[in-house]
């Protein structure tokens, strides 16, 4: 099939390959995933070969990004004979850096000059094209050499095409490098491509795919095949997330043995020589799902796109990843430098033999000039060292290497870490477990590590148990906490344990806040604020939340954003909640804080569910579940189920809602090890009553009333749940009692739903005069929050009482106030970056808003925004 809509880009590539006068001999293609960089690169390679141009280069792989000069080896592997044609000095430099002979590490300038000399020698025998795919994953030392070469192609019969991910805001474009950005396809070209790859789509489906794909060629190819169905494609999720989710669905549909093989191949950098060991039948199944190309063989796989590799890794649990890395470490036992990284990734518990092997390989890397990469390897060796003195020695060696490579701040950090290991080994172990928990969500590895020293890291154990929601794990942690002698250890451990188990008290949490020193560690403040969320105390400690967000450290700032989003949601300030959650998620993505990132995705799904945006709630839940299920994070799965249930209730689907709620907390039981179970009482009982499960509803109310600790909001929900199962003559009094409880106005969403239920009861009792004030108040509260689906339900009930409800103007089209502001600024011609600067949002958050705005306004592009907004207000 011809390449559609890229005529200008193809012409520029051909001019560079032909060395046309006035055209730079280098092109760097960059753009979003799926925009067609690889397709254009391959087209350029094919064009060059047709004209007798020799092609050298290769591809960057994430798994090789830490392999010093691995990219340089790819470049020169086919032309090693030419090393003998250059000066002996240049030959010796390259042989040393490529690991072909022993000797001291050459200077980086010497390596660059020697590399250019060899390429010039190759070009004497005919024109040469250097083509590199996924250049952003090429190891850093090779990238420096390639940059040197790119700027010096002109005197030789050389040209170069690189493809890489989009430029970041911090990256500076070097003068002399021809950057060619690939944007989305024009609307007409996008339609042409979709009709080529998916002829005969129903017109409604075709329009939706074109709208969601937004001109991205990979999306146009893949989105119609996603297993969730085109009608469920969310409008709010970033395109990369949706594409990766589509690939992940296909991966999860495969048998376990094929998934394991694909995982090993994905971690191995998509090597053709990799021993995939798939049967011909297995390969056909994988190829049929569009995960590998037709050029794959049972013993050599080519993945369709880098997002396939990330989808395969993303659906694997940490333990599955470790086992796959262990397989690769064994396969590369004759290549110490590749084996080193796989060994490090496969290991969690200290092991001196593994640490010593990684140290030796790190030393070899540093000798060959890869000092920066050797730092990280030596640090991993230290992390796996059982003996504290040896661990400190390896950290000091890593600090020495960091100093040699100019990373002076890192060198000081490593020296400080070495001292901590000698001065406070328990603290160092706890810190490592905390990193495993927060960075990777690796609950199992964190627990295994801390079990080696039962008295260490109890706070991390408590936090891990609160996420795992496993009865046996909680029993083990409770035993450790109970074993603390009164007055010994960290008193916050016992407090947090009791709060998360439903046994804490507001008085104890308030006392802990009162006792905080002025310069309290942010980690302690964040932990206490999390406890405050369980007891409805968070609004009293908003200054602490602001302090976390404004302080140093990404981890604590991300926790602050999650707390702020939680607080804003309960206060009915949903635009502010979305802004806080979006800012926190951006921070987590930048700093690899996976656990907190999924906390925030749960918050964003909660907001979407409250608004009645079922598509976005579904997408956030799918993303969370794919990550949480392999890791055993029961809390994330509970929160995901909460969001799906709430979205179903917003649209009156109580059967589905009951299934989700009862999955969190079985009817008649409020398990102490399930953190969110108490907060499902009202919704579970409501959905049970509406689906005819009255006995289950009453049993659940009875179980909830036995809870030892009932914070004010929980008291409100339990009292309202009692009203739902009470006889009609008693129900009204219970509803009034619930609404008369202190602080009820503090939680407008709960308040509004209870008034809606009360109004529905009064209408059923043929008391419209009693129902109307409740329904009006509920409708006003829902409107103030942007809970449009719930507002419509309240208005329908009002109409049933005989009130003529004026149709709401379609100006907002269901847009929140922030979405309306984003739409107006985009209509004025501002870019996402400019809009973000005005509204203090990230460009990614602005993009997410626009994905939600377009379908609500019935448009597919920014160009139509102005007319849509003008038509909406007329």
The greatest distance separating any two alpha carbons of the chain, rounded to the nearest whole angstrom, comes to 100
With pLDDT > 70 as the criterion, what percentage of the chain qualifies?
87
| Chain centre to alpha carbon of residue 600 | 10
Residue 363 has pLDDT above 60, yes or no: yes
Q: What is the phi/psi pair of residue 712, to 5°?
A: -55, -45
DSSP state of 96: H
CA distances, 216 to each of 213, 242, 302 (Å): 5, 12, 22
| Sheet order of strands, 26-31 included | 54-59, 128-133, 158-164, 26-31, 179-182
Q: What is the phi/psi pair of residue 31, to 5°?
A: 170, 180
798 with 779: CB under 8 angstroms?
yes
| Chain centre to alpha carbon of residue 433 | 21
In 3D space, the residue among 516, 473, 469, 478 whose CA is nearest the CA of residue 497 turns out to be 478
Record the pTM.
0.63
Comparing 377 with 369, the larger pLDDT belongs to: 377
CA gap 2, 747 in Å, rounded: 58
Q: Please identify which residue in the block is written with the tokens 């600024």.
A: 825
Task: Give 445-458 pLDDT, tens digit per residue.
Answer: 888 888 877 777 78
Residue 586 has pLDDT above 60, yes or no: yes
**pLDDT score, position 274:** 45
Task: Give 169-202 pLDDT, tens digit per residue.
Answer: 556 677 888 898 888 888 888 888 888 888 877 7
Tokens of 225: 């095949």
Residue 578 has pLDDT above 60, yes or no: yes
Task: Give 743-753 pLDDT, tens digit per residue.
Answer: 888 899 999 99
Residue 32 has pLDDT above 90, yes or no: no
CA gap 792, 769 in Å, rounded: 20
Sign of CA dihedral 865, 868, 873, 874: positive
Tokens of 807: 């149709």
Residue 66 has pLDDT above 60, yes or no: yes
E strand or H helix at 31: strand 26-31
Grade residue 275 by pLDDT with cuts at 50, 70 and 90.
low
Q: CB burial class (10 A; 0-12, 13-18, 19+) of residue 756?
A: buried
Residue 549 has pLDDT above 50, yes or no: yes
Comparing 291 with 117, the larger pLDDT belongs to: 117
Residue 708 has pLDDT above 80, yes or no: no
Q: CB burial class (10 A; 0-12, 13-18, 19+) of residue 84?
A: exposed
Antiparallel, parallel or unpaired: β 54-59 and 128-133: parallel
In 3D space, the residue among 745, 467, 788, 432 whose CA is nearest the CA of residue 633 turns out to be 467
Comparing 590 with 19, the larger pLDDT belongs to: 19
> What mean pLDDT do residues 39-53 have?
92
Tokens of 462: 């408590």
Rg (CA), the chain: 30
E strand or H helix at 845: helix 843-857
E strand or H helix at 132: strand 128-133
Can you count the helices (H) and strands (E) in the chain? 44, 5
Grade residue 272 by pLDDT with cuts at 50, 70 and 90.
very low
544 with 523: CB under 8 angstroms?
no
567 with 542: CB under 8 angstroms?
yes
CA gap 224, 752 in Å, rounded: 39
**Stretch among 532-546, 606-620, 838-852 having the lowest mean pLDDT:** 838-852
CB count within 10 Å of CB 88 equals 8
With pLDDT > 90 as the criterion, what percentage of the chain qualifies?
28
Q: End-to-end CA distance of the chain, in Å?
A: 46
Comparing 655 with 709, the larger pLDDT belongs to: 655
> What mean pLDDT do residues 794-821 have?
71
CA gap 346, 315 in Å, rounded: 17
Beta strands in 522-656 (DSSP E): none
Tokens of 222: 């893949």
630 with 622: CB under 8 angstroms?
no
817 with 801: CB under 8 angstroms?
no
Angle, CA of 195, 304 and 373, to the nearest 5° = 140
Comparing 854 with 10, the larger pLDDT belongs to: 10
Q: What is the phi/psi pair of residue 131, to 5°?
A: -125, 125
Query: What residues are paired with 162 via a beta bridge?
Result: 28, 132
DSSP state of 168: P
**pLDDT score, position 872:** 55
> What mean pLDDT do residues 408-430 have?
73
In 3D space, the residue among 838, 532, 546 whose CA is nearest the CA of residue 713 turns out to be 532
CA gap 540, 563 in Å, rounded: 12
- The phi-psi region of residue 809 (left if phi > 0; otherwise alpha if psi is between -120 and 50; otherwise beta) is beta
Cβ-based neighbours of 517, under 8 Å, separated by 6 or more: none
CA gap 291, 282 in Å, rounded: 12
Residue 270 has pLDDT above 50, yes or no: no
**pLDDT score, position 698:** 95
Angle, CA of 146, 151 and 155, to the nearest 5° = 115
**pLDDT score, position 552:** 66
Q: What is the phi/psi pair of residue 158, to 5°?
A: -125, 150
Tell me what the pLDDT averaged over the chain comes to: 83
CB count within 10 Å of CB 36 equals 24
Sign of CA dihedral 487, 493, 499, 505: positive
Residue 421 has pLDDT above 80, yes or no: no
Cβ-based neighbours of 169, under 8 Å, separated by 6 or more: none
207: helix, coil or strand?
helix
**pLDDT score, position 269:** 64
Residue 693 has pLDDT above 80, yes or no: yes
CA gap 621, 608 in Å, rounded: 11
Grade residue 345 by pLDDT with cuts at 50, 70 and 90.
confident
Grade residue 273 by pLDDT with cuts at 50, 70 and 90.
very low
> What mean pLDDT do residues 712-731 have?
92
C-alpha torsion angle, residues 486, 488, 493, 498 (rounded to 10): 0
Task: Give 220-236 pLDDT, tens digit per residue.
Answer: 787 666 533 333 333 44
Q: Please identify which residue in the block is written with the tokens 């707390």.
A: 563
CA gap 829, 835 in Å, rounded: 10
HEC letters along 398-438:
HHHHHHHCCCHHHHHHHHHHHHHHHHCHHHHHHHHHHHHHH
**pLDDT score, position 583:** 87
CA gap 580, 564 in Å, rounded: 6
> What mean pLDDT do residues 611-616 have?
82
DSSP string, 605-618: HHHHHHHT-HHHHH
Task: Give 466-476 pLDDT, tens digit per residue.
Answer: 999 988 888 88
Grade residue 406 by pLDDT with cuts at 50, 70 and 90.
low
CA gap 859, 827 in Å, rounded: 12
Tokens of 260: 């394991």
Cite the DSSP H helix spans in 289-387: 306-314, 318-331, 336-346, 352-367, 371-383
**pLDDT score, position 49:** 94
CA gap 499, 142 in Å, rounded: 52
Tokens of 659: 């299934």
CB count within 10 Å of CB 549 equals 18
> What mean pLDDT do residues 255-271 have?
79
CA gap 721, 867 in Å, rounded: 47
């Amino acid at each position: 099939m011809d390449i559609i809509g890229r005529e200008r880009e193809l012409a520029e590539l051909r001019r560079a390959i032909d060395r046309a006068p006035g055209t730079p001999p280098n092109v760097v293609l960059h753009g979003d995933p799926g925009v067609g960089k690889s397709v254009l690169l391959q087209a350029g390679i094919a064009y060059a070969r047709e004209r007798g141009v020799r092609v050298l280069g290769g591809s960057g792989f994430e798994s090789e990004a830490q392999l010093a000069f691995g990219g340089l080896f790819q470049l020169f592997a086919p032309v090693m004979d030419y090393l003998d044609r250059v000066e002996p000095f240049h030959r010796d430099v390259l042989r040393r850096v490529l690991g072909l002979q022993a000797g001291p590490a050459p200077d980086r300038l010497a390596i660059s000059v020697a590399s250019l000399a060899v390429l010039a020698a190759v070009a004497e025998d005919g024109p040469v094209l250097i083509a590199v795919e996924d250049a952003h994953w090429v190891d850093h030392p090779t990238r420096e050499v390639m940059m040197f070469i790119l700027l010096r192609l002109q005197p030789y019969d050389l040209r170069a095409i690189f493809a890489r991910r989009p430029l970041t805001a911090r990256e500076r474009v070097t003068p002399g490098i021809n950057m060619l950005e690939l944007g989305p396809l024009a609307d007409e070209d996008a339609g042409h491509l979709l009709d080529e790859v998916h002829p005969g789509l129903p017109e409604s489906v075709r329009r939706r795919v074109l709208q969601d794909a937004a001109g991205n060629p990979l999306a146009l190819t893949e989105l119609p095949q996603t297993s969730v169905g085109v009608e469920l494609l969310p409008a709010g999720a970033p395109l990369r997330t949706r594409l990766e989710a589509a690939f992940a669905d296909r991966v999860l549909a495969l048998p376990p043995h094929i998934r394991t093989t694909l995982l090993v191949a994905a971690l191995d950098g998509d090597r053709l020589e990799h021993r995939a060991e798939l049967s011909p039948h297995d390969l056909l199944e994988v190829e049929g799902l569009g995960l590998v190309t037709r050029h794959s063989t049972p013993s050599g796989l080519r993945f369709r796109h880098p997002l396939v590799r990330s989808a395969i890794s993303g659906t694997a649990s940490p333990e599955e990843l470790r086992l796959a890395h262990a397989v690769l470490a064994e396969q590369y036992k004759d290549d110490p430098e590749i084996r080193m990284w796989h060994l490090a990734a496969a290991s969690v518990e200290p092991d001196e033999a593994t640490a010593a092997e990684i140290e030796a390989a790190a030393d070899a890397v540093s000798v060959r000039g890869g000092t920066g990469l050797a730092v990280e390897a030596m640090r991993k060796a230290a992390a796996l060292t059982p003996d504290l003195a040896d661990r400190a020695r390896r950290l000091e060696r890593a600090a020495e290497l960091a100093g040699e490579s100019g990373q002076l701040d890192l060198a000081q950090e490593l020296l400080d870490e070495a001292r901590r290991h000698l001065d406070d080994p328990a603290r160092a172990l706890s810190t490592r477990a905390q990193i495993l928990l927060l960075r990777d969500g690796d609950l199992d590895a964190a627990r295994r590590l801390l079990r080696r020293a039962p008295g260490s890291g109890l706070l991390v154990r408590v936090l891990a148990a609160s996420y795992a929601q496993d009865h046996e794990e909680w029993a083990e942690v409770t035993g450790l906490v109970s074993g603390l002698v009164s007055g010994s250890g960290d008193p916050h451990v016992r407090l947090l344990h009791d709060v998360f188990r439903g046994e804490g008290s507001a008085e104890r949490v308030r006392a802990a806040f009162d006792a905080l020193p002025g310069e309290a560690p942010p980690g302690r403040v964040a932990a206490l604020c999390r406890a405050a969320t369980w007891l409805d105390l968070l609004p009293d400690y908003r200054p602490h939340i602001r302090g976390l967000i404004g302080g140093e450290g990404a981890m604590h700032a991300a926790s602050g954003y999650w707390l702020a989003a939680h607080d804003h949601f309960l206060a009915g300030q949903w635009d502010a909640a979305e802004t806080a959650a979006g800012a926190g998620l951006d921070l987590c993505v930048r700093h690899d804080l996976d656990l907190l990132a999924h906390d925030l995705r749960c918050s964003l799904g909660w907001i979407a569910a409250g608004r009645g945006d079922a598509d976005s709630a579904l997408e956030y839940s799918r993303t969370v579940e794919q990550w949480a299920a392999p890791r055993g994070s029961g809390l994330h799965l509970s929160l995901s189920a909460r969001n799906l249930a709430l979205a179903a209730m917003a649209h009156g689907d109580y059967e589905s809602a009951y299934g989700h709620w009862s999955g969190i907390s079985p009817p008649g039981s409020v398990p102490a090890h399930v953190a969110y179970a108490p907060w499902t009482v009202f919704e579970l009982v409501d959905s049970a009553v509406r689906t005819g499960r009255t006995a289950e509803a009453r049993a659940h109310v009875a179980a909830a009333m036995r809870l030892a600790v009932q914070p004010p909001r929980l008291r409100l929900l339990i009292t309202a749940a009692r009203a739902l199962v009470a006889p009609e003559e008693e129900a009204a009094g219970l509803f009034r009692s619930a609404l008369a409880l202190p602080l009820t106005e503090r939680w407008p969403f709960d308040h509004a739903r209870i008034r809606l239920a009360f109004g529905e009861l009064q209408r059923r009792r043929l008391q419209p005069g009693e129902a109307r004030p409740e329904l009006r108040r509920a409708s006003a509260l829902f409107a103030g929050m942007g809970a449009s689906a719930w507002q419509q339900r309240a208005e329908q009930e009002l109409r049933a009482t005989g009130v003529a409800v004026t149709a709401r103007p379609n100006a907002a089209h269901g847009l929140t106030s922030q979405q309306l502001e984003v739409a107006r600024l985009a209509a004025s011609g501002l870019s996402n970056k400019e809009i973000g600067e005005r509204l203090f949002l990230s460009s990614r958050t602005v993009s997410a808003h626009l994905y939600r705005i377009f379908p609500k306004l019935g448009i597919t592009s920014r160009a139509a925004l102005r007319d849509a907004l003008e038509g909406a207000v007329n």
